[in-house]
Amino acid sequence: MRVRTEASGAATAVSSRAPATPATIRSYARIVLPVLLLLFLLAAPGLIGSYHLHVLTLILIYVPCALGQNLITGNSGQLSMGHAAFFGLGAYAVAILSVRYGWPAFPALLAAAGAAGLVGLLIGLPAIRISGDYLFIVTIGVNLVFLDIVTQWVPVTGGTAGIPGLPMPSFGFVRVRSNVDYFYLALAIAALCFLVTLAITRSRFGKMIEASRDDPVAAAACGISLTAVRVSVFVIGAAMAGLAGGVLGYFIGFVGPSDFNVQQSLLIFEMAILGGLGSIWGSVAGAAILVGLPEILRFLQPYRLGLLGLIMIVLMIYRPQGLLGSVRITNLIRK
């Protein structure tokens, strides 16, 4: 199925009357490649083995995180480095609501996104007054505070032991029963967040976000409320991570503090800067590379941290805009 689509895509490109300049090829690729990717993903459970399907599911779970991080850091220019807190908040919300109160999946996932969004609001507000590299540290601090709370508030969060035994989610008549179902759930959530991000960046609001990043004074002079724009971006980015965290909780069946530490925040941050700031496909690529590569190259596992660090250094020196991005992270702070 995948091969046939590839062939027909190539045929359209060749038989078209317009001369095959790089620009026309690129405009075809812009339509054909996403369609191919979607077709591949829809057919993936039949094409790849169960281990690779597991890895692909994990990648899809991280895609909303990367999208949210990229919206905050790439589009809005806020150096937030605590995304694992929102991710974890979603996971804990789902775990607590489904295990302790028996909530079904749909309201639990909504609550996960809502809780993360609400905390995003609480952090986004002081973030207005804290700029650049200070925000970087403050948001790491938010992640540490989150960890303090979930490890100490034992009656609710289970402390370091976490919350085991999350049920398989069910949405009314649709029940998740197998890893293939989990894959499609993750795909649906990732696609939803992808489309929401696409709609935001293409909209007037998306232009307002970028204007308030590129020239806050001019943006404010045009009547854009910097506070409203920046805080809403924080809320949206946090809510996406919360939603993804909820899916992660269901997928693993266990929620504990060790999955949401500062390293996790670094990983999500790096997805956005490696893929490319301000680029939606960059977020997808970042998640795919940073989750997929260590799983496929198992022998590199002991050097995972160091490799992440090395990628950061090489990127900053040689390609600060990331693989697919247009925004250089170095332009986000004025001297």
Distance CA 247, CA 269 (A): 19
Contact set for another protein, span 105-134 (CB under 8 A): 126, 129-130, 132-134
| Using rule CB under 8 A, residue 316 touches another protein | yes
# residues contacting another protein (CB under 8 A): 45
Distance CA 174, CA 105 (A): 10
Contact string 203-242 vs another protein (x = CB under 8 A): ----------------------------------------
Q: Report the candidate in 70, 65, 62, 67 with the shortest Cα–Cα distance to residue 329.
A: 70
Of 148, 215, 225, 297, which lies in the binding site for another protein, with binding defined by CB under 8 A? 148
Contact set for another protein, span 74-103 (CB under 8 A): 79
Going by their DSSP bridges, the two strands 174-175 and 254-255 should be labelled as unpaired
H helical segments located in the chain: 2-15, 22-47, 50-70, 83-95, 101, 105-127, 132-152, 154-157, 179-202, 204-214, 216-221, 226-252, 262-275, 280-296, 304-318
Distance CA 316, CA 305 (A): 17
The type of residue at 327 is V
Q: How far is the CB of 15 from another protein (least distance, A)?
A: 47
| Using rule CB under 8 A, residue 138 touches another protein | yes
Of 149-157, 207-215, 217-225, 288-296, the window that binds another protein (rule: CB under 8 A) is 149-157
Cβ closest to another protein, residue 36 vs residue 311:
311
Of 167-175, 213-221, 247-255, 306-314, the window that binds another protein (rule: CB under 8 A) is 306-314
Of 9, 114, 141, 294, which lies in the binding site for another protein, with binding defined by CB under 8 A? 141
Enter the DSSP assignment of 76: S
Q: How far is the CB of 327 from another protein (least distance, A)?
A: 12
Cβ closest to another protein, residue 24 vs residue 152:
152
Distance CA 1, CA 52 (A): 19
Contact set for another protein, span 270-299 (CB under 8 A): 273
Which residues have C-beta within 8 Å of that of residue 28, sequence separation ≥ 6? 9, 12, 13, 16
| Footprint of another protein (CB under 8 A) | 79, 126, 129-130, 132-134, 136-138, 140-142, 144-145, 147-149, 151-152, 262, 266, 273, 302-306, 308-313, 315-317, 320, 329-335
